[in-house]
Amino acid sequence: MDILQKGYNVILAPPKVQQADETISKLCDRLEHATLFEDRKAAILGLKSFSKSFKELVAAQGLRGIIQSLQRDKEDVEILRASLETCLVLMSNDDEDQLSDTALWVADQFILQPDNINELLENVQSRDFFVQLYSIEVFSCVLVCRPAELQDILLKIPAAIATLLRPLSDSHDALRNATLHFFIKLVSHSPNLQKVAAFENAFDYAFDIYQEEGGIIGGMISLDCLKFISLLLEENSSNQNYFREMNLFPKIAYHLNLETINDSLKLPRCADNVIALLKIIRLLAPLYSLSSRSNQLQFMRCGVIDVVLRLAFGTTTFPTDICVEAWTSLAHIVHANADTQLAVYQNGYFTVYDLDAFNAFLHVIYDKHLEVNHRYAAVFCLRSLTTENDDLKNLFLEQTLKAYANHDDGQTNLLETYLSLGLFENSKTYECWFTSVILSLLIFDSPERKKKLCSVTIHCETDEEEAVTFIQTLSTKLIAVLRHNDALQTAVGYLMLLILMMANDADCVNDFLSEGSVLQMLVGTLIDESSSANATIQGLIATLLAVVYYYCPENSPISKSNIYGIIDSMVKRDIFVHRLLRLRQSEQIRDFVSFDQDNHCTTLLFDDLFINFFKDNFERIKKAIDTAATEFHVEIDGVKIHDLLDHARQELRELRAEKESMYEEVQNLTEKCDLYRKQSDAVNSKLESLQTESSEQLQAYASELEELRNSLHKEIVEHEVNKSTVKSLEDEILILRKGHEDEIKGFTEENMSLNDIVKDLKTKLTTTEQYCRDATAKNKSMEKELKALEKQNERYRQDIETTKQLLEKSNAKLNAITKQLNDELQENEELKKKNIFFGLAIARSKQCSALEETLKNKELELSSLKDTTKNQQNELRLSKKKYKEATAAVDELKTKNTDNLKKEEALEKRVNELEGIVAKREDEMNDLNTQLENLNAMKKENSELKLKNLDLQSELTSVKELKDATEKENNELRKSSSVASNQESEFAKLKTRIQEMEAALKEAENTAQALTQEKDNLEQKAKESDESWLLILEEMENKRKRDRERLKELGQEVSEDEDSAEEDDEEANV
């Protein structure tokens, strides 16, 4: 057992490195240089097995042969599959974080030689499933190693993206999924590839797979499809426009079905699919984009607004992530679009629950049971709902002020708790912060709405006559909140609202400065250096003071110089600026991310509106303290300088927006120009190729025409020769006809003479029959004499018996002859008439037997009968001689007919040869017609290309060089068309010549047919004459035999010469 175990260990032990190196080198050499197909197959299979353990060796020695096999052995599926698998093994990475040098080396072999990429693209089109799958996986590995290089190569190959997209419609899930994952990696961070993929129907492929996988209830593949669509749409305005032009918005509405979502929420991937669909909606309607308006209207027409609105308000039905994403998507749909904003405000969802839109939004915002990001998503949507819509802002502000004045208990009464001096809530509930944000977005950049809000007064409980303004109340609450360490969000909310109210509004600044204690308290907080001081609060206070100082009017309660003195004496200018800079450089401001980009925030401190204002005006705020105390915002011709600056800023913003729009248009135009240039280059290249092909084809056609002309000339000469031969044959046929007619006339005359002889014989037969009848009458009269001669009759009876035996023998012979004749009659229908004569002969033989019985006793009359028989024999001899002469004449006619038949057969062969020549000429004419049709098709294609070229010239007026090239090509094409027209005329002439040849051949065929008909008539007449002669001779021979038998029975002698003559005649007949 130990010996066996050691043997197995030796066999199963892995090969040494030296042995592996030698084997790999041999396999690589065989793969690269072997000529036999099986040797290369064995080599690649061996390298595949070694590639897992010896990647570096296989890659160093065999990579060239492996890639070479992709080109050389692409017809064999097994070798191709093994080569691709080996490449995959070599490019696989054990460490996911770091790429191996071998993988990079193999990837570079494909990148540095684009022909290898073309081979992979051809393999993607293979019919074998594994070849397609491994090719896509090789592309994925190359993309991981060299992403930018592969993207550039695929962009340069015209049909690469279309070829790679085709497996997305394959029925095999593995191939389809691998292709989808490859494209997700390929199109990311490549706008050009995104455009090409979109134009190659990538959206349709993705939606089809999404539908096959179950839509919203699908798994990871459905989510990957939506991810792929998102990558194609993200920051790509051309693809967004293409999505709209292809009318794909209804597909989003179809898949975003509330009933399906409600029934499938328990499934693991349903929520992710819904979120991905909502993200696509956001990508199709990006904020602050001029092209978003048409997409927003498409969402409204498809009914997407209703579904998204119900998802957003479904706080108790749907998960928080879906609701937050729905609020964000709804914000994108309604942003700065009056039509979609009105559609949301007047939506039937609010009438069902007896709420208006503003009150419904506030219910979600102030719902303490919801998460913070969920509530802020509703605020974000409310801002988009009121963006560039002063009517809705005025309406919401009036509802708020009316509710506060009427002391309503609903959510619309925002100011009740917000301005209550005796209530200080926990900052973690964000109630005051949300109210500050809502009021900011309602009053920002609108002096009228600021005045309406500032007109709100709060009456003190101790002194009913003294009323406190909104800003004074807000300032007082701010001072109170600053004393609490856990009220950061509330204090930030108050400060943001005050800063936005003070900006560009002197009345609000006067109202704020009416309480000097507030200014002192804020300055004291600003200079606090204790550990409890908050840098964010100090920075916001510095911002507020800078804005107040900058917009302080000349008639303010605290003069601008006093404000500057307070700040300069208590804070110092450097500290003041330092507080501003520290706020600007703080993480909350510097790294602030819009809620549109990150909606998973857990804490809230700043709002998008304030961040944008602070960053846009930071330089002015920072330099505000450096302005002179005597510098005010004076009016020039009734217009404030600040208003002029704001108007100029607004114009600058508009100009920037126009510039951005123009830049986008320029980009679109440049893209179109690039496309048109590519198309024009393609058209030009195609025109050049067509020109070269047409010139080559024209040369080929010209050479073929010359050959056809030569062949036609030869055929015409042959046709003339055939005409002469046909004429000579016709003359010979006429001569033969005349001779044949003469022979027929002679034959008919002889036949008439033979008919006369037959008539004479018939008359003689009638006389003999009459004589027999007379003999029978005499026999009756002699019956009395026969009674006396009974004794003699007995002897005669014995003789009769012997004669009967002889007759039976003769009858047997006759039966054998009749059988032989019947067999011959079955083979030839023309001999049927003979049976009639044989039947007559048999009937007459029976009559003769009856006569013999009666003539036995009449020996006396035998002498007279002998005389008559002798006379008949002489007559038969004469008829035989005439028969022999007639047969000789018939034989001569037969020989002549055979000669005529041979000549006619020769004529038929010649006619068939002529017909074959005509058929060849017809085939050649058909080929010429097809070539003419091809030339006409080329003309049509050239005309279509001319039209396309003209269209491109009208659109690309700047490209003038193309005009000269196209004009030259048009002239060349005109020359080719003139050559083609000349060829057509030559073809017409050839057609007329061939038609003449066909007419001549038809005449020859008609003459041949007439000859064959005459030949058939002659044969038929000869057959009829032969049959008539044979019938006559048979009848005569039968009659002679009967006479001889009667003579033998009567005891007469018959000469042997006559018997031998009979035998000779019988042999001749046979």
- pLDDT score of 1028: 57
pLDDT-based confidence at 346, cuts 50/70/90? very high
Judge contact between 240 and 280, C-beta under 8 A.
Answer: no
Judge contact between 540 and 494, C-beta under 8 A.
Answer: no
Judge contact between 865 and 1063, C-beta under 8 A.
Answer: no
3-state secondary structure of 543: helix
- Report which of residues 342 and 1002 the model is more confident about: 342
Q: In this model, does residue 1034 exceed pLDDT 80?
A: no
Give the integer Cα–Cα distance in Å for 622 and 989: 97
Q: In this model, does residue 890 exceed pLDDT 60?
A: no
Give the integer Cα–Cα distance in Å for 63 and 89: 12
Q: In this model, does residue 794 exceed pLDDT 70?
A: no
- pLDDT score of 932: 52
When pLDDT is averaged across residues 609-636 and rounded to a whole number, the result is 77
- pLDDT score of 600: 80
pLDDT-based confidence at 896, cuts 50/70/90? low
- pLDDT score of 759: 73
When pLDDT is averaged across residues 786-797 and rounded to a whole number, the result is 59
What digits encode the pLDDT tens for the residues 1037-1067?
A: 776 677 667 667 666 555 544 444 444 444 4
What digits encode the pLDDT tens for the residues 540-580?
A: 999 999 999 998 888 889 988 899 888 888 888 899 999 99
- pLDDT score of 537: 94
What digits encode the pLDDT tens for the residues 921-966?
A: 556 556 655 655 655 555 555 555 556 555 545 544 544 454 455 4
- Report which of residues 222 and 776 the model is more confident about: 222
Phi then psi for 552, rounded to 5 degrees?
-70, 125
Query: What value does the mean pLDDT of the chain take?
Result: 77
Q: Parallel, antiparallel, or unpaired for β 635-636 and 467-469?
A: unpaired
- pLDDT score of 487: 84
When pLDDT is averaged across residues 33-56 and rounded to a whole number, the result is 90
What digits encode the pLDDT tens for the residues 277-307?
A: 999 999 999 998 888 999 999 999 999 999 9
Give the integer Cα–Cα distance in Å for 364 and 411: 10
Share of the chain above pLDDT 70, in %: 64
What residues contact 408, with CB distance under 8 A and at least 6 apart? Answer: none
- Report which of residues 942 and 520 the model is more confident about: 520
Q: In this model, does residue 838 exceed pLDDT 50?
A: no
Helix (H) or strand (E) holding 467: strand 467-469
When pLDDT is averaged across residues 661-674 and rounded to a whole number, the result is 76
Q: In this model, does residue 588 exceed pLDDT 60?
A: yes
Q: In this model, does residue 850 exceed pLDDT 80?
A: no
Helices 292-302 and 237-245: angle between axes, nearest 10 degrees: 30
Q: In this model, does residue 455 exceed pLDDT 60?
A: yes
- pLDDT score of 823: 64
Share of the chain above pLDDT 90, in %: 39
- pLDDT score of 93: 82
- Report which of residues 573 and 19 the model is more confident about: 573
- pLDDT score of 908: 55
Query: Which tokens go with 682?
Result: 């393609």
When pLDDT is averaged across residues 438-460 and rounded to a whole number, the result is 90
- Name the DSSP class of 16: P
Q: In this model, does residue 419 exceed pLDDT 70?
A: yes
Give the integer Cα–Cα distance in Å for 1003 and 1009: 10
Least confident of 308-312, 486-490, 658-662: 658-662
Q: In this model, does residue 590 exceed pLDDT 70?
A: yes
Give the integer Cα–Cα distance in Å for 306 and 315: 16
Give the integer Cα–Cα distance in Å for 216 and 273: 5
Domain ranges of the chain: 291-388, 457-633
- pLDDT score of 1067: 44
pLDDT-based confidence at 312, cuts 50/70/90? very high
Q: For 160-216, where are the E strands, in sequence order?
A: none
Q: In this model, does residue 10 exceed pLDDT 90?
A: no
Phi then psi for 468, rounded to 5 degrees?
-110, 135
Query: Which tokens go with 186?
Result: 């390929």
Fold of 457-633: Leucine-rich Repeat Variant (1.25.10)
Judge contact between 330 and 305, C-beta under 8 A.
Answer: yes
- pLDDT score of 848: 47
Largest CA distance in the chain: 202
Query: Which tokens go with 1048?
Result: 């033998």
Least confident of 241-245, 309-313, 398-402, 824-828: 824-828
What digits encode the pLDDT tens for the residues 314-327?
A: 988 999 999 999 99
Give the integer Cα–Cα distance in Å for 448 and 15: 90
Query: Which tokens go with 334?
Result: 């309604």
Beta bridge partners of 639: 636
Least confident of 461-475, 838-852, 982-996: 838-852
What digits encode the pLDDT tens for the residues 170-198?
A: 999 999 999 999 999 999 999 999 999 99
What digits encode the pLDDT tens for the residues 252-285?
A: 999 998 988 988 888 888 999 999 999 999 999 9
Q: In this model, does residue 843 exceed pLDDT 60?
A: no
- pLDDT score of 740: 67
- Report which of residues 155 and 1041 the model is more confident about: 155
